């Protein structure tokens, strides 16, 4: 037994040596794997791909009908020029996050982004969008573009003639109403008896509230109206701001960025209280309806009037047919303001120059009158081309086109400064509190306080 001990010790020592050898190999292998896997992840500048004019281009846009139309138009471009274009569609809920996360990379995965109008300031001031100021006027007939669309969708700062986007989808909030209910003789008689005027499509907010109240019959599962009140992104702000402007309030002074004295005025408080009243004539949960839900409560046949973007109207028209009519949003006396929608083409500054040039070529082609005439034939393809908008052919082409063309004269937009999202989040949060029952004046004052602090922090306040 004693003679066995040195043998066992030798065996253990050899085993330990072998372990050490294998472990050192293992650690070395791990180091190689880590360096191979992690080096590209931490690389500062990926090698840009060589670009040629016919290299495929990628456009990022939200997932909705106009993006399908854009893909069809892009296929025509591919046939004409040989440059293939893919329109990559991202669900609305994550569109903004995905785009700006991608902008965090050295090179973006897209060449063109069809971005929201509010993104302009961020894209322009953070070096994310290519400055199109010297190119756009020569490539597109700017005189032929609706000035309100050009200013809100392409220019930053507004009125500066500095362009960071070109027109793609122009949109505005419109009114969809149940034409069959409005023309029902029994309803007309009842309305006349109650309000001493004929039942008609409302032209003022006061008339709108009366019609909404008249049709609001929850016991029959029939509701008066649906407003944009969602808390996710910008629905609440888009829904409320047109009432705010129509009542004489505003988000603030665009020159000085002062908010107090604009957003917390008695007129603005009245607007918010009126907006809250409108939600009481809505379906259950009317104080939190996002774009999809506003569409749902109208297309399910329960709601008399729905205020949402024209881009949703082809879906409504398809589902409800002749039962539905479309109109321009109401005014308040002389004041008539409508929320702008739509997005412009912006070229990524984080792609090689030849790709930027290829992207610009497509954008210029898309904005030619001939292509714009094709664009308006696509589902929810809305143009900013003034000649097309004014043509009898366009106005008669669908039940909503005339209302769309007339709406563009009154469009206004939310802030498009780099800190737009902080402003939006603050506004949506406090407006939501007001719709949930908080004091309207306190909510507006809270927004004004926060907005001024945000402007101050961003160095914009004068």
Partner 1 sequence: MRHRLGWAFVIPTLLFLIIFNVFPLISSVVLGFTNSELTGGSWEWVGGRNFSRVFNDPKYAAAVRTTVLFTVVAVAVELALGFILALALHRDFRGKTAILTLLLIPMMLPPAVMGIYWNFLFDGDYGVINQVLHAGGLLAPPQWRTDPGLKLLAVVAVDVWMWSPFMLLISLAGLGSIPKHLYEAAEIDRASRWMVFRRITLPLCAPLLGLAALLRATDALKQFDLVMAITGPNDASTQTLSTLLYQVIFSNQRVGLGAAYACVVLVLVIALAIGVTRALARMRSANAGQAV
Of 29, 27, 71, 80, the closest CA to residue 53 belongs to: 80
Burial environment of residue 347 by CB neighbours within 10 A (0 to 12, 13 to 18, 19 or more): buried
Smaller CB separation from partner 1, 17 or 393? 17
Q: Which is nearer to partner 1, 128 or 363 (CB)?
A: 128
| Residue 232 binds to partner 1 (criterion: CB under 8 A) | yes
Q: Site residues for partner 1, window 89-108 (CB under 8 A)?
A: 96-97, 100-101, 103-106
Q: How many CA atoms lie within 13 A of 6 on its CB side?
A: 1
Q: Is 367 in the site for partner 1 (CB under 8 A)?
A: no
Place of tokens 């597109």: 140
The answer to whether residue 288 forms part of the interface with partner 1 (CB under 8 A) is yes
Of 2, 196, 284, 462, which lies in the binding site for partner 1, with binding defined by CB under 8 A? 284
The residue count for binding partner 1 (CB under 8 A) is: 46
The residue assigned the tokens 């500062």 is 44
Considering only residues 244-283, where is the footprint of partner 1 by CB under 8 A? Answer: 283
Q: Report if residue 239 touches partner 1, rule: CB under 8 A.
A: no
42 vs 392, which CB is nearer to partner 1?
42
* Shortest distance (Å) from residue 233 CB to partner 1: 8
- 309, 341 Cβ separation under 8 angstroms: yes
Q: Give 168 or 454: the residue with its C-beta nearer to partner 1.
A: 454
- Hey, which residues between 393 and 452 contact partner 1 (CB under 8 A)? 419, 421-422, 425, 428-430, 432-433, 436-437
Kindly report the CA angle at 190 between 185 and 191, in degrees rounded to 5? 95
Residue 2 token pair? 């004693």
Is 30 one of the binding residues for partner 1 (CB under 8 A)? yes
- Site mask, partner 1, residues 292-311, x = CB under 8 A? -----x--------------
By CB under 8 A, tell whether 333 contacts partner 1.
Answer: no
How does DSSP assign 356-423, residue by residue?
A: HHHHHHHHHHHTSHHHHHHHTTSTT----BHHHHH-HHHHHSSTTHHHHHHHGGGEE----STTHHHH
Burial (CB < 10 A; 0-12, 13-18, 19+), residue 405, is buried
The SS3 call for residue 300 is coil
Closest CA to 225 of 181, 290, 177, 270: 177
Whole-number minimum distance, CB 196 to partner 1, in Å? 32
Distance of CA 62 to the CA centre of its chain: 8
CB of 19 to partner 1, least distance (A): 6
Stretch that binds partner 1, among 60-68, 185-193, 225-233, 252-260 (CB under 8 A): 225-233
CB nearer partner 1, residue 72 or residue 288: 288
Residues lying near partner 1 in the complex (CB under 8 A) are found at 16-17, 19-20, 23-24, 26-27, 30-31, 34, 38, 96-97, 100-101, 103-106, 122, 126-128, 230-232, 283-288, 297, 419, 421-422, 425, 428-430, 432-433, 436-437, 457
């Amino acid at each position: 037994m004693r003679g066995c001990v040195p043998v066992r010790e030798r065996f253990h020592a050899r085993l330990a040596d072998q372990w050490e050898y294998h472990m050192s190999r293992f650690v070395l292998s791990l180091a190689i794997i880590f360096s191979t896997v992690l080096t590209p992840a931490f690389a500062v500048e990926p090698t840009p791909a060589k670009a040629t004019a016919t290299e495929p281009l990628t456009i990022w846009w939200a997932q909705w009908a106009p993006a399908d139309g854009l893909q069809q138009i892009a296929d025509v471009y591919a046939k004409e020029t040989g440059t293939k274009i893919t329109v990559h569609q991202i669900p609305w809920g994550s569109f903004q996050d995905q785009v700006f996360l991608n902008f965090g990379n050295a090179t973006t995965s897209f060449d063109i982004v069809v971005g929201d109008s509010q993104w302009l300031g961020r894209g322009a001031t953070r070096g994310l969008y290519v400055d199109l100021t010297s190119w756009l006027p020569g490539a597109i007939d700017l005189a032929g573009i609706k000035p309100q669309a050009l200013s809100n969708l392409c220019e930053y700062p507004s009125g500066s003639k500095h362009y960071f986007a070109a027109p793609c989808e122009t949109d505005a909030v419109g009114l969809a109403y149940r034409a069959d209910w409005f023309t029902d003789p029994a309803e007309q008689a009842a309305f006349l008896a109650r309000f001493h005027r004929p039942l008609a499509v409302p032209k003022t907010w006061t008339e709108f509230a009366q019609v909404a109240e008249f049709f609001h019959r929850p016991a029959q599962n029939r509701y008066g109206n649906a407003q944009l009140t969602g808390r996710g992104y910008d629905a609440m702000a888009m829904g409320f701001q047109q009432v705010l402007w129509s009542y004489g309030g505003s988000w603030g002074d665009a020159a000085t960025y002062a908010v107090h004295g604009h957003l917390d005025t008695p007129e603005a408080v009245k607007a918010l209280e009126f907006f809250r009243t409108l939600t009481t004539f809505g379906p259950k949960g009317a104080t939190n309806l996002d774009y999809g839900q506003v569409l749902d409560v109208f297309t399910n046949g329960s709601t008399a009037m729905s205020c949402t973007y024209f881009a949703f109207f082809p879906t409504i028209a398809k589902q409800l047919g002749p039962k539905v009519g479309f109109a321009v949003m109401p005014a308040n006396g002389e004041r008539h303001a409508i929320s702008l929608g739509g997005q412009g083409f912006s070229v990524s500054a984080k792609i090689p120059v030849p790709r930027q040039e290829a992207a610009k070529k497509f954008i210029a082609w898309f904005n030619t009158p001939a292509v714009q005439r094709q664009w308006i034939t696509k589902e929810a393809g809305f143009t900013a081309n003034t000649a097309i908008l004014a043509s009898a052919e366009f106005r008669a082409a669908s039940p909503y086109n005339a209302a769309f063309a007339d709406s563009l004269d009154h469009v206004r937009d939310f802030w498009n400064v780099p800190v737009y999202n902080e402003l939006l989040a603050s506004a949506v949060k406090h407006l939501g509190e007001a719709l949930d029952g908080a004091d309207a004046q306190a909510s507006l004052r809270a927004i004004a306080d926060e907005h001024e602090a945000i402007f101050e922090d961003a160095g914009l306040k004068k």
